[in-house]
Amino acid sequence: MIDYQYIYSTYNNLPFLIKLVWIVISLLALTIAFMSMYLKVIRHSLRKKREINIKFKTEYESLLVKYLYSGDDSEKTTKTQNSIIESLKESVKVDSKRKIILAVLYDLMNEVSGEMSDSIQTFYYKTGLIKYSYTKLKNKKWHVIAKGIGELRRFRIKKASHRVTKFINHPVREVQKETHLYMVNLFLFDGLSFLDHLKTPLSEWEQIQLLETLQKFENQEICNIRPWLKSTNNSVVLFALKLAKIYNQFEVKETLMELLSHTNKDIRLNTINVLTHLYGIEAKDVLKTNFNTLSIEEQISFFGLLEKLVMPDDEPFIEEHLFHKNFEIQLLALNILKEINIDKYMGLSKLSKKEKSTAMIKSENI
Amino acid sequence: MDTSSVKIILQILHVIFFGYAFAAILSYIILSVISGKETIEYSKRKSFINYKDILSSTISPSITIIAPAYNESLNVVENVRSLLSNHYVNYNVIIVNDGSEDDSLERLIEAYDLEKTEYIINDKIKTQPLRAGIFKSKNPAFEKLMVVDKKNGGKADALNMGLNLSKSKYVACIDVDCLLLEDALQKLIKPFLDETETKVIAAGGVIRIVNSCTIKGGKLMDINLPKSLLVKSQILEYLRAFLLGRMAWSRLNGLLVISGAFGVLDKEIAITVGGYDTNTVGEDMEIIVRMRRYMEEKNEKYRVSYIPDPLCWTEAPDSYKIFISQRNRWTRGTIETLKKHRKIGFNRKYGSFGLVSYPYWLIFERLAPIIELIGLIYFIILIILQEVKWEYAMSFLVLSYLFSVVFSLMAIYSEELTFHQYKKKGTGIKLILLSALEPFALHPFILYAAIQGNYDYYFNKKKKWGNMVRKGLSTT
């Protein structure tokens, strides 16, 4: 038998610090006991949740596929479709079930197009799912708002644009990103108009996402990107430069030439790369004149441009940089010289080792 | 010395030990709270990430995977296959055969149809010279692969060779024997592309332990909890370190290390600071500290990023001998790095890096084993002198033990509520038992290895890497 009286009197006789320690020990022991038991509950509920998810997913999937295939050519929903809508209206009211239905719909949305896609949109309206999305937009939590916008994007609800566009400059990046994706997914190049109002930088990740989205669509008729090339938001300029390259925007060459003297180094560097891609021979003289004021990265990029657009009259410039302090430029200059004047290139081998650049020595060794 | 002076000294010692233990526990509590907040935040943000776009994007930044290999003949072919099956468009793989004495190169040549190729190397970082040369595959299916055979110079030297050869913007440095998940590159490149005003100089993810897991064709098929108590304990230790510790330090932008098993670096900065240090056994920590120092001295905004996703699975030592050797090396690496960059410590010029991260590592990582050893010796002396106040000693011992169990349980919770990798029935109870046993199964050996590491650092300078005998992923 546990002698509680003894334990109590021993405890009472302990110094204050030890008493305190034993209180903490008791609390920790209770915490451990609780955590150990609750871990079992968590693991069990996670397993259960997974099973339930699978069960409902299978059920909803078959119902929704039936819904899609029971439509006729008319714009109205059929009797079967209406009964499926009615049967799922109740499920939509339950959070966990709504999530599963949405997940199934997303998958279906990715697999179908045309009338079937419209049919899913009708389902989204008629089951009241759209109301939940709109309610999410009014929520104070950023991740709920972002989810709402995501839903409106996936179900292609163009009508919601006036509600969504107000989040273009939302303080949380995820909300902004969802807004931008909504615009571009639904309005393609016209959707890029958000760039005119963007006050925050557009991350490289988001730029990639937007470009990938644009490239998915059949309509590749790009709008005028000139205003974005002149934007005061540097990330917008960088994004526009990517557009210029991907969509071969020869008509903006003049604006690109202006960007060669932009204050931002990344913009200047990317402009050289875009001009290289667009055969911007006009850039050659400007860059040659300013060559010594350029950063090493810009100088390397310029030699990349020369490699593509070299002319015989560039030879003196190339020769001048055969002994540049940067190895990459030495190598590029050497390769360009080989292309435009093989005799002169061969003549370099006669130089003594001391007179040769590192690139010359290394090139000979291979 | 009279009795009262001895008593005062003893009192001071007690205060030091108590203060240290209290500060350590307090710091763990603070780190756990921060990590909890960060994990919740990360989970919310993660639900909005769509990795599909980066998969197909041709404008995604280029990444070079650099994998040094030394006498890895047993698994090298299989491991390279795993590296080549990553789901990312713009990447290539450089295997640096660092003077292996086995038939690694021959096996690679045969398996991947390699032929010698001429290549101009820009020696931005000095390395050991090439041996057999550089090889590329004749088979277009393996066009991403380059194999470099060089004279032995150690892991750091091999990584430097890879840095010299890489033409990518980012380099992913990985141990060739690690199993890289297919989505690892897309996940780890994201932090670099996400920041708009701060430069991300390095990023790391969670390293998991692969022992007892089922692997087929270089892919992880089934995750199991190993039977060995040592390996299981390391799993728990990794969970604690990655899900609690690093997550919190990431939030504070105070990470001093990205695991050498897998991490991505900004190549330009890595080269500018001189690449990996070949004179340390803790090259993974040292380069991060040096890159951070460089950015601080340049006064540029930067981050060392970390994501809690499991990206890379590695084999953990399954014998105490190898385990001690590994931890001995880790200890020496930490000492070397902290000593080399001692200028940073407590230096206001380096901001929170100098005032928080460095001091934390110095006090709670570098000095912890020494203080613990002194404490143990002191405790033994007190026992001999019959001066131990057992009610104090036992109470604090139980308290510290329970704290360690609680922290382990918190790490398990974090794992269960986020990634839930150990799904099998019965694993939960095993993990709970493990959290109770781990302080006895692992900690004494970590302490021993750390003390040995300190001894080797000061008195056995010749000691370098030590051997890591591997069983190989394909046979795991």
pLDDT in tens, B459-473: 987 666 555 555 555
pLDDT at A154: 93
Whether residue B413 and residue A35 make contact (CB cut-off 8 A), yes or no, is: yes
pLDDT surpasses 60 at B132: yes
Confidence of residue A291 (pLDDT cuts 50, 70, 90): very high
pLDDT, one tens digit per residue, over B286-331 is: 999 999 999 999 999 999 999 999 899 999 999 999 999 999 999 9
pLDDT surpasses 90 at B100: yes
In chain B, which among 23-62 make CB contacts under 8 A with chain A?
44-45, 47-48, 50, 53-54, 56-57, 59-61
pLDDT at B467: 55
Residue of B nearest to A22 (CA): B395
In chain B, which among 177-196 make CB contacts under 8 A with chain A?
190, 192-196
Bridging pattern class, strands B91-98 and B63-69? parallel
pLDDT surpasses 60 at A120: yes
Q: Looking at beta carbons, which residues of chain A come within 8 Å of B45?
A: 143, 174
Q: Residue A362, Cα to own-chain centre: how many angstroms?
A: 41
pLDDT surpasses 80 at A220: no
Q: Alpha carbon of A195 to those of A162, A169, A192, A240, B104: distances in Å?
A: 16, 10, 6, 10, 53
pLDDT at B476: 42
Token pair 């592309």: residue: B193
pLDDT surpasses 80 at B449: yes
What would the mean pLDDT of B57-77 be, rounded to a whole number? 92
- Nearest CA to A116 out of B306, A107, A209 is that of A107
Count of CB contacts below 8 A, A vs B?
109
A173-191 helix and A204-216 helix, angle to the nearest 10 degrees: 40
* CA distance to partner chain B, nearest, from residue A288 (Å): 25
Q: Rounded to whole angstroms, how far apart are CA atoms A106 and A150?
A: 11
pLDDT, one tens digit per residue, over A18-60 is: 999 999 999 999 999 999 999 999 999 999 999 999 999 999 9
Confidence of residue A319 (pLDDT cuts 50, 70, 90): very high
What would the mean pLDDT of B354-372 be, rounded to a whole number? 96
Whether residue B48 and residue A146 make contact (CB cut-off 8 A), yes or no, is: yes
pLDDT at B1: 61
Provide long-range contacts, Cβ within 8 A and 24+ apart, for B217-220: B217/B81, B218/B78, B218/B79, B218/B81, B218/B82, B218/B85, B218/B179, B218/B473, B219/B82, B219/B85, B219/B182, B220/B179, B220/B181, B220/B313
Contact yes or no for B240/B442 (Cβ under 8 A): no
Contact yes or no for B171/B270 (Cβ under 8 A): yes
What would the mean pLDDT of A63-82 be, rounded to a whole number? 84
Interface confidence, given as ipTM, is 0.88
Q: Rounded to whole angstroms, how far apart are CA atoms B192 and B270?
A: 15
Q: Rounded to whole angstroms, how far apart are CA atoms A342 and B460?
A: 59
The length of chain A in residues reads 366
What would the mean pLDDT of B247-266 be, rounded to a whole number? 94
DSSP 3-state of B174 = strand
pLDDT at A232: 95
In chain B, which among 325-344 make CB contacts under 8 A with chain A?
none
Q: Please tell me which of the candidates A18, A178, A327 has its beta carbon nearest to residue B48.
A: A178
Q: Phi first, then psi: give them for residue A225, nearest 5 degrees.
A: -95, -5
Residue of B nearest to A14 (CA): B391
Contact yes or no for B265/B297 (Cβ under 8 A): no
Residues 6+ apart with CB under 8 A from B179: B79, B82, B210, B215, B218, B220, B312, B313, B314, B473
pLDDT at B473: 56
Q: Which structure tokens are listed for A234?
A: 């540097």
Amino acid identity, residue A236?
V
DSSP secondary structure letter of residue A287: H
* CA distance to partner chain A, nearest, from residue B123 (Å): 9
pLDDT, one tens digit per residue, over B395-428 is: 999 999 999 999 999 999 999 999 899 989 889 9
* CA distance to partner chain B, nearest, from residue A74 (Å): 35
Q: Looking at beta carbons, which residues of chain B come within 8 Å of A202?
A: 196
Q: Looking at beta carbons, which residues of chain A come within 8 Å of B193?
A: 203-205, 208
In chain B, which among 394-423 make CB contacts under 8 A with chain A?
395-396, 398-399, 402-403, 405-406, 409-410, 412-413, 416-417, 420, 423
Residues 6+ apart with CB under 8 A from A155: A105, A109, A120, A121, A124, A129, A130, A133
The full DSSP string for B76-91 is HHHHHHHHHT-S-SSE
Token pair 């199993």: residue: B179
* CA distance to partner chain A, nearest, from residue B399 (Å): 6
Q: Looking at beta carbons, which residues of chain B come within 8 Å of A331?
A: 120, 122
Is residue B118 within 8 angstroms of chain A, CB to CB? yes
Q: Please tell me which of the candidates A173, A205, A211 has its beta carbon nearest to residue B193.
A: A205
Whether residue B402 and residue A208 make contact (CB cut-off 8 A), yes or no, is: no
What is the residue-averaged pLDDT of chain A? 92
- Nearest CA to B352 out of B316, B311, B402, B302 is that of B302
* CA distance to partner chain B, nearest, from residue A317 (Å): 23
Residues 6+ apart with CB under 8 A from B427: A43, B225
Whether residue B409 and residue A209 make contact (CB cut-off 8 A), yes or no, is: no
Q: Residue A199, Cα to own-chain centre: how many angstroms?
A: 18
* Torsion from C-alpha of B325, B328, B333, B334, nearest 10 degrees: 150
* CA distance to partner chain A, nearest, from residue B234 (Å): 20
Confidence of residue A11 (pLDDT cuts 50, 70, 90): confident
DSSP secondary structure letter of residue B228: -
pLDDT at B248: 94
Q: Looking at beta carbons, which residues of chain A come within 8 Å of B53?
A: 208-209, 212-213
What would the mean pLDDT of A166-190 be, rounded to a whole number? 95
Contact yes or no for B67/B94 (Cβ under 8 A): yes
Burial class from Cβ neighbours inside 10 Å (0-12, 13-18, 19+) for residue B337 reads buried
Q: Rounded to whole angstroms, how far apart are CA atoms B395 and B66?
A: 50
- Which one has a higher pLDDT value, B236 or B75? B236
Q: Which of B55, B60, B120, B415 to mutate to test the interface with A (most CBs of A within 10 A)?
A: B120
Q: B203: number of CA atoms within 13 Å, CB side?
A: 26
Contact yes or no for B199/B302 (Cβ under 8 A): yes
* CA distance to partner chain A, nearest, from residue B389 (Å): 11
The length of chain B in residues reads 476
Whether residue A43 and residue B196 make contact (CB cut-off 8 A), yes or no, is: no
Provide long-range contacts, Cβ within 8 A and 24+ apart, for B10-18: B13/B378, B17/B371, B17/B375, B17/B378
* CA distance to partner chain B, nearest, from residue A362 (Å): 6
pLDDT surpasses 80 at B352: yes
Q: Which structure tokens are listed for B287?
A: 């380069």
Is residue B459 within 8 angstroms of chain A, CB to CB? no
Confidence of residue A347 (pLDDT cuts 50, 70, 90): confident
Q: H or E element: which one contains B181?
A: none
Q: SS3 string of B104-171?
A: HHHHHHHHHCEEEECCCCCCCCCCCCEEEEEEEECCHHHCCEEEEEECCCCHHHHHHHHHHHCCCCEE
pLDDT at B468: 52
Q: Please tell me which of the candidates B194, B399, B428 has its beta carbon nearest to residue A203.
A: B194
pLDDT surpasses 50 at B475: no
Contact yes or no for A33/B406 (Cβ under 8 A): no
